[in-house]
A and B are shown apart, each in its own frame.
Chain A
């Protein structure tokens, strides 16, 4: 007969210590080949060289309070840390710029409202006509807050608008107005009418072929020449127009991608139902096309947000412009690194959040289409 002992399972042996736990993970992920070991050592060396000095500069040796730049430098020492006292001193200027100091609550509200509406737009359950209304309402309220002149608020000229609110206004208003223009351009590019198609293509390719700076220059130098004599247009509006014209060309290509994704059968079905061009476009084509392009639209918005920093070239003070202007204070000289690090952190927060959101949307959309 069979040996009974054969049927009794042996107690499970523990896996070797080097293949489980921290040691196992290290072996599997950092030292699984000679080449990877070398890479790991290089990476660790890089971290050892960069991280401790960076931490020392940002936190340990940093000075948080000082009456002026010289005192701060003296306290930090020659090879010392960051002087965050400079940022503490200039924070309100960097965020709100030349807006009257006593009225800073107004741009603060503007920023909060913009962030609130952007967050609300991220919720897919709210997508629809009501969201458009919410945006229009937010723009109107923000306009009142920035301009003032009613409800007991003093009037503030656009030349004093600066800092983060200006960055947000340029980006948001730019995209909101560029979007309908972009849809028309994209429809024009796909049109059956050769003249319409050619003019649309010429516009899109012309604008996409030149840097944003040239468009901004054109708006700031040539827009006054374009208008009838005696007609002036303020600097902010010029930059805003340049942004809208520029962003529209890029958005048009995104929208075109969506239009091309619509099967021809959809349009033929609309034709057979007797719908005309505009009703086909409005009821059949656009709802499907725009839904497809939402993730690239968010990416486009990130680009537009970063591009607003170029307005410093034509003398507007957006977030980067105010950070730059803060550096010119004679009492606080030589703190460029501190100012740029803080500004970069603000831009990073916005862009990183949006890019994560767009990645999430892309995943959600592609999983929806796979079924």
Chain B
């Protein structure tokens, strides 16, 4: 049968193997993978040979050993007697801490400045323009050093500290402010805030369902504010309103008591927020400009007030444009927090650097930093992609 067909119609001749696309694809891939694997093997072989020659230990055993270096500030408890693993954890929490606060503040500053650039007020728009153009065009490392230098050189010694508000001191040792003395009622207040947030979400759902069914609106915003702020206040009052504060006081050459924010942390946060804020401002501006003016006109024709127009018509559409580039700004803020090493804030990179200098185990140290940043980057992308899905245009 087959031979009859082959005789009737001339069989398409198979090209020789070096012209056959399928064969070539496999050959190219095999060669490519072999080249990359060979390069990696070559580098790994050299690395092991060099490490053996320099008598540097390999493996992660050093993490168990005592770190024996101090860390200026940490979110979690730490002493030089703790292990390297603990020191890494301190660095990681410091990085996450500054990045989390930075992302929130940069979003607020960027949004305000982005809106200001679109303001009908000439002066405000121009001031926002100057802000964006200035801070976007100066390297972050320079800005960090500038703020740090200003805080250390420009600010007075603790004895002559500025006191912008009673109890708040600004000196070259950082910013100090009073905190409430610890009291069990704080725990209940925190619980009340969490409960208030959940209650607000529930109220919002109910209000939306009622509006869809009956068209009647409900002041969700005010009620939510009352729940989130009012419940903790009620808890505070119920707990007997313990309002004694822990005031910072000058003892000898430095302060005691209160809570101190170091110049390093202040400079890092200031630099990250101002720098990233200037990029976010442009993203917000572009997002709002991307919404067709006709949408605003239609909203006005329907009789929406300017706040409602922004909240119900412009912003939901602008967010679709804003969210994806915002994700990369959050990522770059987190990655840029590693510049802390320049001004001596003990973030992950700075602690890993100290560890590498002490143990000589560069490969492990750098592998750990890279892994941590990759995981952080992936988590932020994941979270923002989930959010993006919720604001994205739903088509048929």
Q: Tell me which residues across on chain A come within 8 A of B2, comparing CB atoms.
A: none
Contact assessment for B28 and A43 in the assembled complex, using a CB-CB cutoff below 8 Å: no
Q: A-B contact count, CB below 8 Å? A: 159
Contact assessment for B366 and A30 in the assembled complex, using a CB-CB cutoff below 8 Å: no
From A212, A307, A308, A351, contact of B137 by CB (8 A):
A351
B68 contacts the other chain (Cβ, under 8 Å)?
no
Contact assessment for A226 and B47 in the assembled complex, using a CB-CB cutoff below 8 Å: yes
Chain A residues 328-343 with CB under 8 Å of chain B are: 334, 336-337, 340-341, 343
Q: Mark A190-208, 1 if CB is under 8 A from B, else 0.
A: 0011111001000000101
Interface hit among B5-13, B146-154, B229-237, B254-262: B146-154
B191 contacts the other chain (Cβ, under 8 Å)?
no
Contact assessment for B138 and A351 in the assembled complex, using a CB-CB cutoff below 8 Å: yes
Kindly state the separation between the CA atoms of A344 and B147 in the bound complex, as whole angstroms.
12
B370 contacts the other chain (Cβ, under 8 Å)?
yes
Query: Would A225 and B47 be within 8 Å (CB), given that A40-B121, A196-B28, A211-B338 are in contact?
Result: yes
Query: Would A214 and B133 be within 8 Å (CB), given that A193-B28, A348-B138 are in contact?
Result: no
Nearest Cβ distance between residue B334 and chain A, in whole angstroms?
Answer: 8
Q: How many residues of B contact A (CB 8 A)?
A: 54
Kindly state the separation between the CA atoms of A209 and B327 in the bound complex, as whole angstroms.
13
Q: Mark A342-361, 1 if CB is under 8 A from B, else 0.
A: 01100110011001000000
Interface hit among B48-56, B80-88, B291-299, B313-321: B48-56
Interface hit among B29-37, B101-109, B181-189, B209-217: B29-37
Q: Tell me which residues across on chain A come within 8 A of B119, comparing CB atoms.
A: 36, 39
A217 contacts the other chain (Cβ, under 8 Å)?
yes
Query: Which residue on A lies nearest to B349, using beta carbons?
Result: A213
A227 contacts the other chain (Cβ, under 8 Å)?
yes
Q: Tell me which residues across on chain A come within 8 A of B121, comparing CB atoms.
A: 29-30, 36, 39-40, 43
Kindly state the separation between the CA atoms of A357 and B145 in the bound complex, as whole angstroms.
28
Contact assessment for A211 and B335 in the assembled complex, using a CB-CB cutoff below 8 Å: yes
Nearest Cβ distance between residue B70 and chain A, in whole angstroms?
Answer: 21
Query: Interface residues of B: mostly helix, strand, loop or mixed?
Result: helix
From A43, A194, A309, contact of B29 by CB (8 A):
A194
Query: Would A348 and B127 be within 8 Å (CB), given that A39-B121, A337-B149 are in contact?
Result: no
A71 contacts the other chain (Cβ, under 8 Å)?
no
A366 contacts the other chain (Cβ, under 8 Å)?
no
A20 contacts the other chain (Cβ, under 8 Å)?
no
Contact assessment for B341 and A313 in the assembled complex, using a CB-CB cutoff below 8 Å: yes
Contact assessment for A44 and B339 in the assembled complex, using a CB-CB cutoff below 8 Å: no
Q: Tell me which residues across on chain A come within 8 A of B366, comparing CB atoms.
A: 214, 217-218, 221-222
Query: Would A210 and B374 be within 8 Å (CB), given that A217-B366, A347-B137 are in contact?
Result: yes
From A214, A229, A306, contact of B46 by CB (8 A):
A229
Contact assessment for A209 and B378 in the assembled complex, using a CB-CB cutoff below 8 Å: yes
Q: Tell me which residues across on chain B come within 8 A of A226, comparing CB atoms.
A: 43, 46-47
Kindly state the separation between the CA atoms of A352 and B137 in the bound complex, as whole angstroms.
6
Q: Tell me which residues across on chain A come within 8 A of B53, comparing CB atoms.
A: 229
**18 CB < 8 A contacts A-B:** A29-B120, A40-B121, A199-B32, A209-B373, A209-B378, A210-B335, A210-B369, A210-B373, A213-B349, A214-B370, A229-B49, A307-B139, A310-B339, A312-B141, A336-B150, A336-B153, A347-B137, A348-B138
Apart from A208-B377, A227-B46, what 19 extra A-B contacts exist at CB < 8 Å? A46-B127, A192-B25, A193-B25, A206-B374, A209-B373, A210-B369, A211-B336, A217-B353, A217-B356, A221-B356, A226-B46, A228-B46, A229-B50, A310-B141, A312-B141, A334-B153, A337-B150, A337-B153, A347-B139
Using a CB–CB distance below 8 Å, which chain A residues touch chain B?
29-30, 32, 36, 39-40, 43-44, 46-47, 192-196, 199, 206, 208-214, 217-218, 221-222, 224-229, 302, 306-310, 312-313, 320, 324, 334, 336-337, 340-341, 343-344, 347-348, 351-352, 355
> Which A-B residue pairs are the 7 nearest by beta carbons?
A336-B149, A351-B137, A29-B122, A211-B335, A195-B29, A306-B139, A309-B139
